[in-house]
Amino acid sequence: MTIREPHRYPGRLIVVEGIDGSGKSTQLSLLQTFLQSEGYDVSFTEWNSSPIVKDTTKRGKKKNLFTPTTFSLIHATDFADRHEQSILPPLQAGLIVLADRFAYTAFARDAVRGCDRDWIRNLYDFATRPDLALYFRVDIDTSVARIMGGRMQLKYHEAGMDLGLSPDPIQSFRLFQSKVLEEYDGITNEFGLTVIDAKRSVVEQQREVRKLVKPLLKGLRRHGLPRSAAKTTVEA
């Protein structure tokens, strides 16, 4: 199975994408709470969190060792490990897997860093195609306003400081993420991401997210429900 073909696992894979400040993590966390309260088994994984790769990424960032190529490769390594350990087993077991960022993040960012688009796509060819990929689209001003207004800090690589676009982190973030937004538009068409207008309120967006997720839940096992309800689900 590849990132371009539907998977045949009993579980469901739902991913969120978008630049920093798009609100995607907030939306995914609300969705997780909702699904769990509905009795579904949910598993969560996020970008850049593999236990065997983490230290290398940290060292590379701290010592400024990365080039566009190694930055791209280490993220693919991280993803491969999580795909094997944290995405495939729950999908095979019939769980709902929620992923905060997916291969599309690499397609967007690494291309802006100058890596060859076909080469990046090949790196992630082994990835399972999500059942639903939500792209939270915001304009750069909204994103910057949210980041500056919140507790979030602009990180060196998120701001694209490694590209030397501007010595000012905020200006660099604007320039870098504007290019990332352009890449996302192409990716949205290529891989059929579902666009969510992320300028709207949290509640409005979550309502739309749940509506989109609902058809995917059919046939999934639920637990912790009253006996009769559980029975109905099984029979349905």
Partner 1 sequence: MEARFYGAGLPKCDTASLPGHLVVLEGADGVGRSTHIELLQGWLEGHGFAVATTGMVRSELTRKGIKAAKEGHNFDRTTMALFYATDLADRIENEIMPALRSGFIVLADRYVDTMMARGAARGLDREWLARLYGFALMPERTFFLRLDPDELIRRTLRRGGELDYWESGRDIGLAPDLYTSFRKYQALILEEFDRLGERYGFTTVDASHGVEEVQAELRRELAAMLDPSMFVTAHDGTD
Cα 220 to Cα 9: distance, rounded to the nearest angstrom: 12
| Residue 176 backbone phi and psi in degrees, to 5 | -65, -50
Query: Binding string, 34-63, against partner 1, x = CB under 8 A?
Result: ----------------x-xx-xx--xx--x
Pick one of 123, 165, 175, 209: the residue that binds partner 1 (CB under 8 A). Answer: 123
Pick one of 3, 19, 42, 74: the residue that binds partner 1 (CB under 8 A). Answer: 74
Dihedral of CA atoms 51, 153, 116, 103 in degrees, nearest 10, equals 50
Work out the number of other CB atoms within 10 angstroms of the CB of residue 199.
16
Q: Which stretch binds partner 1 (CB under 8 A): 38-46, 70-78, 144-152, 202-210?
A: 70-78
Nearest distance from C-beta of residue 70 to partner 1, angstroms: 5
Q: How close are the terminal C-alpha atoms of the chain, in Å? A: 29
Beta pairing, strands 194-197 & 132-137: parallel
Instruction: Kindly tell me which of 65 and 202 has the beta carbon lying closer to partner 1.
Output: 65
Cα 215 to Cα 50: distance, rounded to the nearest angstrom: 31
Interaction site with partner 1 (CB under 8 A): 50, 52-53, 55-56, 59-60, 63, 65-70, 73-74, 76-77, 80-81, 83-85, 113-116, 118-119, 122-123, 125-126
